[in-house]
Amino acid sequence: MGRIICAGLGPGDPELMSVRADRVVRAARHVAYFRKAGRPGQARRIVAGMLAEGCAEHAMEYPVTTEAPFDSLGYIRLLSAFYDHWADRLARLAQTAEVVVLCEGDPFFYGSFMHLYTRLRGRVCVEVIPGVTGMSACWTLSGEPITWGDDVLTVLTGTLPEEDLVRRMTDADALVVMKTGRNLPKVRRALARAGRLEGAWLVERGTMEGQRIARLADVEAADCPYFAIVLAHGHGRRPEAAA
């Protein structure tokens, strides 16, 4: 009887992987990872040069990424069938082998593996190795603490409607916006309306090759890759927090 291990690989720099994830990846005989069709996939890039000779690779290619609205019925049906298919394939393989699923960041923080996990638990033995999140790597790269004192950290996704973004940004002490990419113009407008644009930062490809850190107000709204996070640092709710 085998099992499935999902290894959280961290934000992109292989040196930020946990010792446990590194050990599991190097010993793997079967690895599975998500990728866009025709691309190597970010998780696979992170482990380049780490896989053992003869390791079998199972590339899980998304049937659709940005070609359709993420909340459309067609998109939801395609992704649901995709996750069903791969959950079945991995469950069959795990009957006789150990399978390591590679996941950038932390698997339980906006990770695609969550959709497999809900389909697999109860069917096979599943173990999850946590990883450094992209957002924690990015706020460390900014050179400033993201929270002080009693600050409340709010994590948003750029896919939310603009009005929802404005409302939540206005109420936030410290702020992280995930899933920016093509949503950056909307995120930037929302920050401006919430009075948070001047203090916001954009971190692109944090810890990876081509990394860029810039004040969001100085960046063209349409100039943003997929791996990018927007930050607005907290300043502390109590006077002593600034001491």
Q: In degrees rounded to 5, what are phi and psi of residue 42? A: -65, -40
Q: What are 171-215's pLDDT values in tens digits?
A: 999 999 999 988 999 999 999 999 999 999 999 999 999 899 999
**How confident is the prediction for the chain on average, in pLDDT?**
92
pTM of the model: 0.89
Say what the pLDDT of residue 242 is: 47
Q: Which residues contact 160 (CB under 8 A, 6 or more apart)?
A: 168
* Structure confidence at residue 153 as a pLDDT band (50, 70, 90): very high
Q: 3-132 and 135-242: same fold?
A: no
Q: Note the CATH number of domain 3-132.
A: 3.40.1010.10
Q: What are 103-124's pLDDT values in tens digits?
A: 999 999 999 999 999 999 999 9
Please say if the pLDDT value at position 150 is more than 80. yes
Task: Outline where DSSP puts E strands in the chain.
Answer: 3-8, 30-36, 56-62, 98-103, 126-129, 153-157, 174-178, 200-204, 212-215, 228-232
d(CA 173, CA 152): 6
Domain limits, the chain: 3-132, 135-242
d(CA 20, CA 104): 15
Point out which residues pair with 8 in neighbouring strands: 103
Q: What does the DSSP assignment read for 156-169?
A: EETTS-HHHHHHHH
Burial (0-12, 13-18, 19+ Cβ within 10 Å), 7: buried
Structural fold of domain 135-242: 3.30.950
* DSSP, res 236: -
Say what the pLDDT of residue 5 is: 98
Q: What are 24-50's pLDDT values in tens digits?
A: 999 999 999 999 988 899 999 999 999
